[in-house]
A and B are shown apart, each in its own frame.
Chain A
Amino acid sequence: MTQQRILANVSRDDFVGRDAELQQIVQQASRLTDRRGLVLQAAPGVGAAELFRQAYDQLFLRRGDPVPIHFALLRSDANPVDTARRFFQTFLRHYVAYRRVDPSLADAPLSSNDLIELALPGDYELISELVESFERERGASDQRDFVRFCLTAPHRLAAAGRRLFTLIDCLGLGPSKEEISLAQEITAAVAKSSGSFALAGLRRQVISLLGSDGGSDFTEVLHLEPLGDDDGRRLVDVLARRHEVQTNEPTRDLIVQQLNASPLFINELFLAARAAKRPLTSFLNCQRLYVDELMGGRFYRHFSRILDQVAPQPQTKKVLLRVLHESAAGEAHKASLWAWKKRLGVDAGEFERIVDALHVNELANSSGAFIEMNAESYVWMDYLRAHYRVEVAGEARAMIVATTLLDTLKRAPQTMARKYRREAALGLSELVSYFNCQSVPASLFHYDRFAAAHKGADTESINAELDMESDLIRLPQTIYAAGCSAYSDSISCGPERCAVAHGFDAADYTDENEVVWLAAEIESKLEASRELTEEWCNRLAGLARECRFEQVRLWLIAPEGFSPEACELLKERDAYGSSRRQVELLTARIKSEIGAADERADEYEMVIPMGTDTELIAAHAVEQIARRVNFRPEAINQIKTALIEACINAAEHSMSPDRKIYQRFRLENDKLVVTVASRGVVPANLASDNGHDVRARDEKEDAKSRRGWGLKLIQTLMDEVEFERVDDGTQLRMTKYVR
C-alpha cells in the first residue's frame, strides 16, 4: 500500500536512496529513556529537507508516542518575529493534527480559534491557555518577549506531559548572523524541552547552530552525502515515470553524471522537461534543456539566489562573478584569499561574510590562505562560465547559448567515458585503505613470478597454490589513503586509478616504520613496456619527492602485467608490479578477511588475573570450546598448551598495570582463533617482527637453556601465530585449523 503524503513532496515509494537514514531518524523518535538529539549534516542539494519531511510523515502515520513536529526555517520569513510566530503555530498545528489523526491539518492555514476548536477535549484546556497566552504576548509591545514566548512552545507542551519529537530543518537558513542567532535560539529551546529531537543543516554550517557548547545535547550524527550513481539512476527512472518524460539508458546516465547525482538538480531538470514537454531521449535534447535551465531557468535561479544572498550589492556581485570565474579558470581552481579581498574591495567583515557564504553553500572551499573553487560540480562551473560572459564580459547571449550547448555536447562523451573508466577501475584508494598488516602471497606483487607460476590457470587452482605459498608480504597498516590528485596536480588521473596510502609497517608507530605506498593503475593493452613502466615509476617518485615522502613503496598495476624488461626495471627500482588479475585476487583475499571478521561467529571472551595458575582456568575453558568443533584430542592439548604459554608470556613480560589477561576465543567453520592480550610494556623486538627473531634465537640456543621456550612452543603447536598491533601492550593471535 502506498504511504499517504502529508508534508513530503514525493511519495515514500519514490523517495530514493535514503532508507537507512530515514530509519535512523525514525528510530531516534522512539528513544524513550533519554533526551537525545540527532544532527543531520547534509551536503547541499542532497535531499535532506525531503528526508525530514518523509520522517515526519512516517512518524505521523505510524501513530503512538511521540507526537512529531516539523519546523523549517524559511528565507521567506521577514523577521525573527515572523519566524517565532510560525514556530509557535506550527507546534500547535502539528500537535492538534496528530491528536486528531487528521493529516490534512498539518499543513493547513489554521487560525488561533481554529486550533482551539479543533483541539480534542483532553487537550482543549491546554491549547486554549497556550493560544490565549500567545495572543496576549502578541498584543504586547515588546517583540523580544514575544519571540521568547513563542520559543517556549516545546517546553510548555512537554511540561503538560506531552511527548514530542521535533524535527528542525535549518537547511534554508541564510548566511546572516541574525538568522543564525535565531536558529541557535530555536535549537536551544527544543533541546531544553524533554524528548528527542533532530536538527538538519548544511554540513559546513551546522556546527554554528549547535551553540557555544558545541552541541552537547546532540548524541547522534548523521551525514547525508550525495547519492551514488545507482540511486541517481533510480531517481531518474522515478522522476521520468512521475513526470511522464521519456528517457533512455544513455541519457539517464548522462543526467546522473552531469548533475552529480544531485536530487535537487535532477528534479529541477525533470520539472523543466515536463513543463517544456521535451523528451530526454538524446544527448542533444538533454543538453538543450540543460543549457536553457542554465541560462534562465531553474539552475540559473538556484545559483543566482545564492549569489544574491552572498553579494546583495550589484557591483560587488559583478566583481565576485569575475573573481570566481578567474579562480575557476586557473589550473588549480584556486586563488589566495588576499588577492580575493583586494579584488572585491569590501571591508573585512563583508569579505568574511561573502567567503563564509560561498563556503557554506559549497561553491568554494575556504581553507587557510586560499580559496578553492568547487570545480567538481558541472552545473556550478557551467553557470559561472555562462553568467560571467553575460554579466561581466557582456558577450552576446546567442553566442553564449550556442557555445555552451556546443561545449556541453562535446563534453558529454567525455563525461560518460570518465564514468566508465571510474567504474572499470580497480578502486585503488579503497583497496589500499583496507591494508591492515595482512600477510599475502608475495607473488601477487611480482608479475614475473605470478605469470611463471599461474598463467593460464583457473582462479580456483591459483588460489589453492597461493594458499600454499610460503613467501609472504606483510602489508602495512594504512592509516590514511587518498587519490594522488589530492596531493599534487603533477599526476592527473582519478582517485580510483592512483592512490597514496600513509601507514606503518607492522603497525608499529615509529619513524622507522612509517611508509607511504604510491599505487597507480596504468593503461596498456599489452604487457606494459619498460619505457611506460619507467615513466610511471618516475612520476610516482617525483610525487614522493614533491611531497617529501621519505620511505615509499611504489606499486604499479597494468591490466596485462609487465614485459620481462619492465619486470627487471621494477626489481631495479624495488617497486611492485601486478596485473589486474593479481590485484583482483588480492582484493578478494583482503575483502574476504574483512568479511570473515564481520560475520557473526561463536565468540567467547574471558579475563583472568595474572598468577596463581589462572592459566589453567583458561586452558580448561578453551578445551570445552575446542570440543565444539571436533578438534582431535591431540590438537586440543596443543591449543591448551599454547594458551598456557601465551598467558605465562603475558604475565612475565608485560609489567601489566592491571595484572589481567584478556582472552578471546573465536570459533569459525574450520578454525579456532585465540587472542591473548595484556596491557603494559611490549617486549623489545617482539611485536615488530612477530617474534621471528625470538624463534631464530631460540633455535640457536642449546636445548638446555632454561627459559624462553614459550613463544617457540606456541609457534610449533599452532598453525598461525601473529602479534597484532594494539595501542597499549601486546596482543597475540593464534589460529588452529581443524584437520
Chain B
Amino acid sequence: MADTTGESPVQARRVGDTAIIYASDYLNKLSGERIERECKRQLESGSRALVINFRDTELVNSIGVSILMGVIDAAEQNKARLIFSDVNSHTAKLFEMLGLTRHVSLAKDEGEALSQVAPQKNAVGS
C-alpha cells in the first residue's frame, strides 16, 4: 500500500517496491538536490524502482536538470529503474535536448510509469 514520507520536504510515496517522488513547481538547484537526496534515501531503504512525478513542475533550469543526472547515476548503481512521469511537453523537450532521455524513460502518468516498472519488479521480487 502507498505511504507518504513525512521526513523530507519532498513529497514521496511507496507503491510496493516503487518509490514515487513528486517534484515541485520549479526544478532548480535546491529542489533538485532535495529530489536527489530523497531518491537516494528511497534506494537505501530498498526501493527497486523510482518514479519522479513532474505533474507540478512548470519550469526547470539547467542546474536542476544536471542534478537529475546524479539521480540517474544512483539508480544505475543500485540497478533500479528510473522513470519520469507527467513531464510537460516543454520540459520533455529540454530533457531530450540535454540528453537525459538517453538514460531515463518518460511515462505519460503515474499509472503508465507503474506499469512500466511492474515486469522488472516482478522479475526481481517474485
Contact = CB atoms under 8 A, between A and B. Distances in A.
Nearest to B89: A634
Interface of A: 613, 615-616, 619, 634, 637-638, 640-641, 644-645, 648, 702-707, 709-710, 713, 716
Contacts of B69: 704, 706
Most buried by B among A637, A645, A716: A637
B59 A716 contact: no
A704 B103 contact: yes
Contact of A703 (B26, B73, B90, B100): B100
Contact of B70 (A638, A703, A706): A706
A709 B62 contact: yes
A709 B66 contact: yes
A644 B64 CA distance: 12
24 contacts: A634-B89, A637-B59, A641-B90, A641-B94, A644-B61, A645-B61, A648-B61, A648-B62, A648-B63, A703-B102, A703-B103, A704-B73, A704-B99, A705-B66, A706-B66, A706-B69, A707-B62, A707-B63, A707-B66, A709-B66, A709-B98, A710-B62, A713-B62, A713-B98
Interface of B: 26, 28, 59-63, 65-67, 69-70, 72-73, 89-90, 94, 97-100, 102-103
A619 B98 CA distance: 21
B59 A619 contact: yes
Contacts of A705: 66
B102 A613 contact: no
A626 B103 CA distance: 34
A645 B28 CA distance: 11
Contact of B65 (A637, A640, A709): A709
Contacts of B70: 706
B93 to A, nearest CB: 8
Nearest to B29: A648
Given A641-B90, A706-B67, 13 more contacts: A616-B59, A644-B59, A644-B61, A645-B61, A702-B99, A703-B102, A704-B69, A704-B73, A704-B99, A705-B66, A713-B62, A713-B97, A716-B97
Contact of A645 (B26, B62, B89): B62
Nearest to A637: B90
Most buried by A among B62, B90, B99, B103: B62
A641 B59 contact: yes
A706 B68 CA distance: 9
Contacts of B102: 703
A408 B113 CA distance: 95
A36 B46 CA distance: 80
A705 B94 CA distance: 15
Contacts of A709: 62, 65-66, 98
Contacts of A713: 62, 94, 97-98
Contacts of A619: 59
Contacts of A616: 26, 59
Contact of B90 (A615, A638, A702, A706): A638
A645 B73 CA distance: 24
Contacts of A644: 59, 61
Nearest to A714: B62
Closest 7 CB pairs of A and B: A703-B99, A709-B62, A637-B90, A706-B66, A710-B62, A644-B61, A707-B66
A615 B26 CA distance: 11
A634 B102 CA distance: 23
A704 B70 CA distance: 9
Contacts of A634: 89-90
A705 B73 CA distance: 11
Nearest to B70: A706
Contacts of B94: 641, 713
A713 B103 CA distance: 19
Contacts of B103: 703-704
Nearest to B68: A706
A704 to B, nearest CB: 5
Most buried by A among B90, B97, B99, B100: B90
A702 B100 CA distance: 11
Contacts of A613: 26, 28
B124 to A, nearest CB: 25
Nearest to A711: B62
A706 B94 CA distance: 15
A640 B59 contact: yes
A709 B67 CA distance: 12
A316 B46 CA distance: 109
Contacts of A710: 62
A199 to B, nearest CB: 59
Nearest to A709: B62
A644 B28 CA distance: 10
Contacts of B97: 713, 716
Contacts of B90: 634, 637-638, 641
A366 to B, nearest CB: 62
B60 A641 contact: yes
Nearest to B98: A709
Contacts of A706: 66-67, 69-70
Contacts of B62: 645, 648, 707, 709-710, 713
A225 B89 CA distance: 62
A615 B69 CA distance: 23
Nearest to B26: A616
A703 B63 contact: no
Contacts of B66: 705-707, 709
B76 to A, nearest CB: 10
A644 B58 CA distance: 13
Contacts of A704: 69, 72-73, 99, 103
Most buried by B among A644, A702, A707: A644
A356 to B, nearest CB: 66
Contacts of A702: 99
B61 A641 contact: yes
A706 B99 CA distance: 11
Most buried by A among B66, B72, B103: B66
Nearest to A706: B66
A613 B59 CA distance: 12
A133 B103 CA distance: 99
A672 to B, nearest CB: 17
A710 B61 CA distance: 8
B95 to A, nearest CB: 10
A114 B103 CA distance: 102
Nearest to A635: B90
A702 to B, nearest CB: 8
B62 to A, nearest CB: 4
A616 B26 CA distance: 9
B74 to A, nearest CB: 13
Contacts of B98: 703, 709, 713
A694 to B, nearest CB: 13
B84 to A, nearest CB: 15
A28 B119 CA distance: 85
A705 B67 CA distance: 10
A710 B89 CA distance: 19
Contacts of A640: 59
Contacts of B59: 616, 619, 637, 640-641, 644
A400 to B, nearest CB: 83
B61 to A, nearest CB: 5
